[in-house]
């Protein structure tokens, strides 16, 4: 579809490179901002949908991507109109970003481009079709929960298809399976034939090369395991048909075939038939993990399969490699541990462990007797039990399912997670008899029908209130994060939290993105949360009904764990997350970076950011600016602050009564300019030392630099505001400082933004950089996204309510004065906090709302 | 256990909608059957009288409008809630003309459908 857009674009732009007049540029810029706004809303909307509070289907995803495509085309077109077609290559960028999304929307997965082998650390998290359920789950454990999993690589489902195709096996397997499913052939015969065909198959050169490249990398031996892909993201036959342990590098290709063959064992086939997965296209991946030579190993079940101790988990353990435990070769140690901190061991049965399985030096395993003195000892320490219990709970909290986790402890007593899968729970446990509505009604309700859901779910724990200066390292695992703000720095504790409740924040904020990434049930915009929920109090959040209960509602937690659908795992949510990855991340943060180019745009958000920055730069291009203003009506602002600001009103910015050439501050009706000027006019803003001169004198000396240049504003050009009722575009030069502000201030917060750029000064770069840091620190505490580069500060802020925008524009006004000679006084880095402090002291009334 | 649970049918050819609505409504105390094929749902309403039917409109084979016409014909007391990704004034009008209780555009919040069902329940219990 894109080539035709290019044609239209061609025709529209022709070869005209003349500057178009400012009112038109401004119109284009406004339209661009509106589309920009809409695109950001669509992105925020998509993000919100990934929080689980909405029900959507594939059609919705189609519609949204197409709307976004449409908006982005308009945005790129808008920039090209403003910039006389200098950003033509952005049309190519649009193609590069949107074509793969089209492919995602059309098919399940574009396997043809996928690699045969992927290092485990780089495995994509949302493509279990490619890497299989097991590898995908483990990759999530590594990336999201930061728990130790042996390193390795995945031989993908594409490799499996390549193998079948090379050996003409696809059709053969299909026919054999059909014979069995229709009853005309016996299971054992069919399974035997398929396995024989696979073992006799030849691994094509290109695939074998790739496998060996990774297998030989470290010299380690490998545990080669199947990583099948099923509807639930796991095949639950926990057996060893599909694992080959302690494989030397050279034998990995053979082991790979063995594992593939194992997937056609009679048991595996029966299981897949029962799950209705026989007719489907199989996607078999194989995971190769570095071998852990375990001293002890075993399995954790996060829900006890008998009905006793429903608030406990069970850890099974024995010496040596895990085969002993999984195959039940010897009696085991069994520890029943409370799920509730501090994870007390409720009971333990130490089995008599007669034998263990260990790895042989040349590869393979052997079974040997256990030393007599060790036989009846506990195979793991209390510390290990505690570690395993904590890990199991954070896994269960993240995956929201009862889990069966295989673990190992090596000779250095380091714990490892080998794999995790859904624990199948029998129906009588699953369908509890209690009425969940009635059980919940026994708990007192602390908060009801308040707030905005940013990630759906149920979470319980003790309240831990985080304030700005709190040491985040103290945040206890599994606590409920309660906060007034949803500041970005809270992100560090999100993975540890069982739930989040904040007084401020929105579904579009940064914290929302993080909460979704770590699947933490979260409710924001809850009035008085920090007062209602006191420190250490045990609570349960249920976002489905926007309720906070006092106490741990165990019945509800269990119900969720056993019965509710894990929406995060559904195909639609995975597709949404894959799309979001191409849409939402912002990589182009720093406009000064060499990557800030069309080529550097890798997401829709990047492209939006790039266009916005370039459009603003076009407006900052002073010579063309002036050129564009010929014939426009220009006002001069009459004010105590003798900056001599020139104003161009494009509608509603100046009171209709105003006449002549001069306009008083009272006649300014542009909301952002009014707010900014209030800040600029603060008397205390202009003195950094006791005031020796009178105000006007001070200002005169300050502004002499450019005012003295004479010739009126149109020749100096810098002190110019283009305004409407809700908009301000300001160029302001004070001494050697250059300020640029672009701001919108509407009733509807979604339309609001402030863009602030500050650069320049008379001292050396070191001092000017210090000043930039002072500015950035002050701006950050007002929730600006501020970045510095040398003496340049770029600060952005979006979507705050009108009142808050007003405060921030006042702050900018005050800062413009405050920073005047700041660089001269910043003699060392130690001065930075002092001046930040000084600003807040000086402007207590502006700082008040932050307290 | 509440023996007087209302019976709800959910019909949507997108399985995700059924999968998510079922637990949400069950937790509210309803008995829920879900269908992704409209022919199966049509067959079901020949035997079972539902208190509430929640259906998509645009589906392969028998569309939602046909199903709800039939449902209303067989059991005028059944309350119907339409969920659709193609919400237009015309379809909304036609739905209400057919006696539909509520009309919800996809995507929707869980709470929206829960509220609609609660209101339908109030109406049913008030009879």
Model confidence at A79, pLDDT cuts 50, 70, 90, reads very high
Instruction: Give me the residue from B2, B106, B113 closest to A60, CB to CB.
Output: B106
Cβ separation B108–A55 shorter than 8 A: yes
Concatenating the DSSP letter of every residue in A731-761 gives EEEETTEEEEEEEE--SSGGG-EEEEEEEE-
Using CA atoms, how far apart are residues A787 and A596, in angstroms rounded to an integer?
Answer: 14
What's the rounded mean pLDDT across residues A770-799?
85
Domain assignment present for B61: yes
Instruction: Give me the residue from A433, A436, A570 closest to B19, CB to CB.
Output: A570
B123 touching A, CB under 8 A? no
Cis peptide before A838 (omega within 30 of 0): no
Using CA atoms, how far apart are residues A773 and A832, in angstroms rounded to an integer?
Answer: 7
What pLDDT shows up at residue A693? 39
Give the domain extent around B47.
7-125
- Look at residue A552 and give its three-state secondary structure: coil
B118 touching A, CB under 8 A? no
Cβ neighbour number for residue B66 with a 10 Å cutoff: 14
Residue A450 corresponds to which tokens in the numbers above? 């308040």
> If you measure CA to CA, which chain A residue comes closest to B112?
A54
> If you measure CA to CA, which chain B residue comes closest to A434?
B1
Give the 3-state DSSP-derived string for A154-195, with helices as H, strands as E and coil as C.
Answer: EECHHHHHHHHHHCCCHHHHHHHHHHHHCCCCCHHHHHHHHH
- A382 sits in which H/E element: helix A382-399
Q: Which of B111, B112, B114, B116 would you mutate first to test chain A, the one with the most A CBs within 10 A?
A: B111
Instruction: Give me the residue from A57, A433, A435 closest to B16, CB to CB.
Output: A57
Cβ separation B28–A437 shorter than 8 A: yes
Domain assignment present for B83: yes
User: Parallel, antiparallel, or unpaired for β A403-410 and A294-301?
Assistant: antiparallel
Residue A380 reports pLDDT greater than 90: yes
Residue A422 reports pLDDT greater than 70: yes
Cβ neighbour number for residue A533 with a 10 Å cutoff: 22
Length of chain A equals 851
B107 touching A, CB under 8 A? yes
What pLDDT shows up at residue B53? 96
Domain assignment present for B94: yes
- B45 sits in which H/E element: helix B38-47
CA distance B95 to chain A (A): 21
Residue A508 reports pLDDT greater than 80: no
Give the C-alpha distances (Å, rounded to integers) separating A594 from A83, A601, A776, B98. 20, 12, 22, 62
- Contacts of A22 by beta carbon, 8 Å cutoff, 6+ apart: A625, A628, A629, A632, A648, A722
In B, residues 46-85, which contact A (CB 8 Å cutoff)?
A: 85
What's the rounded mean pLDDT across residues A112-138?
84
Cβ separation B2–A49 shorter than 8 A: no
- Look at residue A640 and give its three-state secondary structure: coil
Using CA atoms, how far apart are residues A62 and A42, in angstroms rounded to an integer?
Answer: 13
Contact A543/A457 with Cβ under 8 angstroms?
Answer: yes
pLDDT per residue over A699-758, tens digit each? Answer: 444 443 333 333 333 333 468 888 889 999 888 877 667 788 989 898 988 788 898 988
What pLDDT shows up at residue A631? 65
Using CA atoms, how far apart are residues A221 and A248, in angstroms rounded to an integer?
Answer: 5
What pLDDT shows up at residue A837? 84
Cβ separation B22–A59 shorter than 8 A: no
Instruction: Give me the residue from B1, B23, B113 closest to A563, CB to CB.
Output: B23
> If you measure CA to CA, which chain B residue comes closest to A569?
B16
Q: Any bridge partners for residue A145, and if so which?
A: none
Residue A677 reports pLDDT greater than 80: yes
Cβ separation B19–A559 shorter than 8 A: no
What's the rounded mean pLDDT across residues A755-784?
81
Using CA atoms, how far apart are residues A179 and A594, in angstroms rounded to an integer?
Answer: 62
Residue A407 corresponds to which tokens in the numbers above? 């673990």
Domain assignment present for B14: yes
- With b meaning 16 or more CB within 10 Å and e meaning fewer, what string describes A148-175? ebbebbbbbbbbbbbbbeebebeeebee
Phi, psi for B50 (deg, rounded to 5): -95, 150
pLDDT per residue over A300-329, tens digit each? Answer: 999 887 767 778 999 999 999 887 776 666
- Look at residue A794 and give its three-state secondary structure: strand
> If you measure CA to CA, which chain A residue comes closest to B29?
A437
Instruction: Give me the residue from A49, A57, A436 closest to B14, CB to CB.
Output: A57
| Contacts with B115 from chain A: Cβ below 8 Å | none
Contact A330/A324 with Cβ under 8 angstroms?
Answer: yes
Residue A251 corresponds to which tokens in the numbers above? 């034998």
What pLDDT shows up at residue A536? 92
Residue A420 corresponds to which tokens in the numbers above? 């995790």
Cβ separation B1–A433 shorter than 8 A: yes
B4 touching A, CB under 8 A? no
Instruction: Give me the residue from B2, B29, B107 closest to A55, CB to CB.
Output: B107
| Contacts with A60 from chain B: Cβ below 8 Å | 85, 106-107
CA distance A571 to chain B (A): 8
| Contacts with A47 from chain B: Cβ below 8 Å | none
Cβ separation B27–A55 shorter than 8 A: no
Pairs of residues, one from chain A and one from chain B, whose beta carbons lie less than 8 Å apart:
66
Contact A339/A313 with Cβ under 8 angstroms?
Answer: yes
| Contacts with B20 from chain A: Cβ below 8 Å | 55, 565, 567, 570
Using CA atoms, how far apart are residues A489 and A470, in angstroms rounded to an integer?
Answer: 11
CA distance A434 to chain B (A): 7
| First-to-last C-alpha distance (Å) of chain A | 53
Domain assignment present for B109: yes
pLDDT < 50 regions, chain B: 1-2
B89 touching A, CB under 8 A? no
pLDDT per residue over A591-648, tens digit each? Answer: 778 889 999 999 999 999 899 888 877 876 655 666 666 667 788 898 887 777 888 8
Interface of A with B (CB under 8 A): 49, 53-60, 63, 433, 435-437, 456, 544, 546, 559, 563-565, 567, 570-572
| Among B116, B110, B114, B125, CA closest to B80 | B116
What pLDDT shows up at residue A635? 87
pLDDT top residue among A430 and A678: A678
Domain assignment present for B1: no
> If you measure CA to CA, which chain B residue comes closest to A566?
B20
> If you measure CA to CA, which chain B residue comes closest to A435?
B1
Least confident of A102-106, A260-264, A796-800, A820-824: A820-824
What pLDDT shows up at residue A705? 39
Give the C-alpha distances (Å, rounded to integers) separating B25 from A584, A775, A833, B22. 32, 52, 55, 5
Contact A105/A61 with Cβ under 8 angstroms?
Answer: yes
pLDDT per residue over A45-65, tens digit each? Answer: 888 888 888 989 888 999 999
Q: Which of A47, A51, A57 would you mutate first to test chain B, the one with the most B CBs within 10 A?
A: A57
Cβ separation B14–A564 shorter than 8 A: no
Cβ separation B21–A55 shorter than 8 A: yes
CA distance A61 to chain B (A): 10
Cβ neighbour number for residue A577 with a 10 Å cutoff: 17
pLDDT top residue among A40 and A10: A40
Least confident of A154-163, A568-577, A684-693: A684-693
Residue A124 reports pLDDT greater than 90: no
Contact A491/A515 with Cβ under 8 angstroms?
Answer: no
Domain assignment present for B2: no
Instruction: Give me the residue from B1, B85, B109 closest to A54, CB to CB.
Output: B109
Cβ separation B1–A54 shorter than 8 A: no
In B, residues 5-34, which contact A (CB 8 Å cutoff)?
A: 12, 14, 16-17, 19-24, 26-29
- Contacts of B46 by beta carbon, 8 Å cutoff, 6+ apart: B74
Residue A284 reports pLDDT greater than 90: no
CA distance A79 to chain B (A): 32
CA distance A231 to chain B (A): 12
pLDDT top residue among A489 and A497: A497
Cβ separation B110–A433 shorter than 8 A: no
What pLDDT shows up at residue A491? 79
pLDDT per residue over A644-655, tens digit each? Answer: 788 888 888 999
| Among A848, A843, A851, A752, CA closest to A806 | A752
Residue A472 reports pLDDT greater than 80: no
Cβ separation A546–B111 shorter than 8 A: yes
Contact A137/A234 with Cβ under 8 angstroms?
Answer: yes
Number of domains within chain B: 1
What pLDDT shows up at residue A233? 41
What pLDDT shows up at residue A838? 83
| Contacts with B27 from chain A: Cβ below 8 Å | 436-437, 544, 559, 564
Whichever domain contains B120, its CATH number is 3.40.50.2300
The C-alpha angle A599, A604, A606, rounded to 5 degrees, equals 55
Give the C-alpha distances (Å, rounded to integers) separating B33 from A388, A437, B2, B83. 40, 19, 17, 16
Using CA atoms, how far apart are residues A230 and A277, in angstroms rounded to an integer?
Answer: 8
What pLDDT shows up at residue A661? 85
Instruction: Give me the residue from B27, B106, B113 closest to A56, CB to CB.
Output: B106
> If you measure CA to CA, which chain A residue comes closest to B58?
A59
Instruction: Give me the residue from B1, B2, B107 closest to A56, CB to CB.
Output: B107
What pLDDT shows up at residue A758? 85
Where do we find the tokens 């319980």?
A460
Where do we find the tokens 């720095």?
A489
Using CA atoms, how far apart are residues A480 and A457, in angstroms rounded to an integer?
Answer: 13
């Amino acid at each position: 579809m894109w080539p035709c857009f290019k044609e239209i674009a061609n025709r529209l732009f022709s070869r005209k490179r003349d500057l178009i007049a400012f009112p038109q540029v401004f119109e284009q810029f406004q339209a661009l901002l509106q589309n920009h706004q809409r695109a950001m809303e669509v992105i925020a909307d998509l993000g919100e949908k990934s929080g689980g509070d909405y029900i959507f289907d594939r059609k919705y995803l189609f519609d949204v991507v197409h709307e976004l495509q449409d908006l982005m085309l308009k945005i790129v077109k808008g920039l090209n109109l403003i910039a006389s077609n200098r950003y033509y290559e952005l049309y190519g960028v649009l193609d590069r970003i949107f074509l793969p999304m089209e492919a995602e929307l059309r098919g399940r997965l574009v396997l043809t481009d996928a690699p045969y082998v992927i290092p485990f650390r780089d495995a994509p998290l949302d493509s279990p079709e490619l890497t299989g359920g097991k590898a995908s789950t483990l990759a999530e454990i590594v990336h999201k929960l930061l728990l130790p999993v042996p390193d390795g690589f995945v031989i993908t489902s594409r490799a499996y298809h390549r193998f079948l195709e090379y050996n003409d096996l696809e059709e053969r397997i299909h026919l054999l399976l059909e014979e069995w499913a229709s009853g005309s052939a016996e299971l054992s015969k069919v399974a035997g034939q398929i396995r024989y065909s696979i073992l006799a198959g030849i691994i094509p050169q290109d695939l074998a090369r790739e496998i060996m490249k990774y297998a030989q990398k470290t010299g380690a031996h490998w545990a080669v395991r199947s990583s099948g892909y099923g509807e639930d993201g796991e095949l639950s036959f926990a057996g060893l048909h599909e694992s080959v342990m302690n494989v030397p590098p050279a034998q990995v290709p053979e082991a790979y075939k063995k594992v593939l063959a194992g997937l056609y064992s009679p048991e595996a086939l029966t299981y897949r038939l029962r799950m209705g997965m026989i007719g489907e296209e199989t996607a078999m991946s194989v995971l190769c993990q570095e071998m852990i030579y375990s001293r002890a190993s075993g399995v954790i079940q996060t829900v006890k399969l008998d009905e006793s101790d429903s608030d406990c988990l069970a850890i099974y353990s024995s010496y040596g490699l895990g085969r002993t435990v999984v195959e039940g070769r010897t009696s085991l140690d069994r520890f029943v541990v409370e799920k509730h901190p501090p994870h007390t061991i409720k009971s333990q049965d130490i089995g008599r462990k007669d034998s263990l399985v260990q790895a042989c030096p040349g590869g393979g395993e052997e079974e040997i007797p256990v030393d007599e003195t060790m036989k009846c000892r506990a195979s793991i320490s209390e510390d290990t039990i505690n570690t395993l219990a904590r890990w199991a709970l954070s896994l269960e909290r993240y995956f929201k399912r009862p889990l069966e986790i295989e673990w190992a402890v090596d000779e250095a007593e380091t714990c490892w997670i080998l794999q995790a899968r859904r624990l199948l729970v029998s129906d009588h446990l699953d369908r509890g008899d209690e009425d969940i509505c009635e059980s919940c009604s026994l708990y007192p309700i602390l908060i009801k029908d308040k707030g905005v859901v940013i990630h759906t779910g149920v979470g319980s724990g003790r309240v831990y209130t985080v304030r700005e200066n709190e040491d985040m390292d103290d945040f206890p695992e599994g606590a409920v994060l309660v906060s007034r703000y949803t500041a970005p720095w809270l992100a560090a504790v999100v993975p540890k939290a069982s739930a989040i409740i904040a007084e401020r924040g929105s579904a579009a904020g940064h914290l929302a993105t993080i909460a979704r990434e770590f699947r933490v049930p979260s409710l924001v915009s809850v009035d008085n949360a920090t007062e209602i929920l006191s420190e250490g109090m045990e609570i349960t959040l249920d976002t489905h009904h926007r309720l906070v209960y006092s106490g741990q509602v165990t019945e509800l937690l269990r119900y969720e764990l056993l019965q509710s659908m894990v929406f995060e795992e559904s195909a639609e949510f995975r597709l949404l997350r894959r799309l979001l990855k191409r849409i939402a991340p912002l990589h182009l943060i720093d406009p000064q970076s060499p990557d800030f180019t069309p080529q550097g745009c890798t997401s829709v958000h990047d492209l939006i950011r790039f266009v916005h920055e370039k459009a603003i730069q076009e407006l900052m291009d002073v010579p063309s600016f002036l050129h564009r203003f010929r014939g426009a009506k220009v006002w001069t602002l009459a004010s105590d602050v003798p900056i001599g600001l020139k104003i161009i009103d494009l509608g509603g910015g100046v009171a209709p009564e105003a006449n002549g050439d001069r306009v008083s501050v009272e006649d300014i009706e542009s909301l952002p300019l009014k707010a900014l000027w209030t800040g600029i006019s603060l008397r205390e803003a202009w003195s950094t030392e006791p005031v020796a001169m009178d105000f006007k004198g001070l200002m005169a000396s300050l502004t002499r630099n450019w005012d003295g240049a004479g010739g009126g504003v149109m020749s100096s050009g810098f002190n110019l505001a283009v305004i409407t009722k809700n908009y301000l575009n300001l160029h302001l030069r004070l001494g050697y400082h250059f300020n640029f502000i672009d701001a919108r201030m509407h009733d509807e917060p979604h339309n609001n933004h402030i863009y602030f750029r500050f650069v320049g000064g008379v001292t050396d770069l070191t001092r000017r950089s210090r000043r930039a840091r002072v500015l950035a620190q002050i701006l950050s505490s007002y929730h600006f996204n501020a970045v510095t580069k040398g003496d340049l500060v770029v600060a952005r802020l979006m979507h705050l309510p009108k009142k808050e925008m007003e405060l921030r524009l006042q702050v900018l006004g005050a800062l413009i004065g405050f920073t005047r000679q700041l660089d001269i006084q910043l003699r060392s880095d130690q001065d930075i906090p002092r001046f930040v402090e000084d600003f807040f002291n000086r402007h207590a009334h502006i700082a008040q709302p932050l307290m | 256990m509440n023996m007087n649970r209302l019976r709800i049918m959910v019909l949507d050819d997108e399985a995700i909608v059924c999968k998510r609505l079922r637990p949400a409504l069950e937790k509210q105390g309803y008995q829920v059957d879900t269908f992704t094929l409209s022919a199966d749902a049509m067959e079901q309403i020949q035997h079972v009288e539902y208190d509430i039917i929640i259906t998509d409109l645009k589906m392969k084979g028998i569309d939602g409008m046909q199903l709800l016409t039939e449902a209303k014909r067989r059991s005028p007391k059944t309350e119907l809630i339409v969920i659709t990704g193609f919400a237009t004034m015309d379809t909304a009008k036609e739905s209400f003309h057919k006696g539909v209780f509520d009309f919800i555009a996809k995507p929707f919040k869980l709470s929206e459908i829960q509220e609609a069902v609660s209101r339908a329940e109030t109406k049913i219990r008030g009879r």
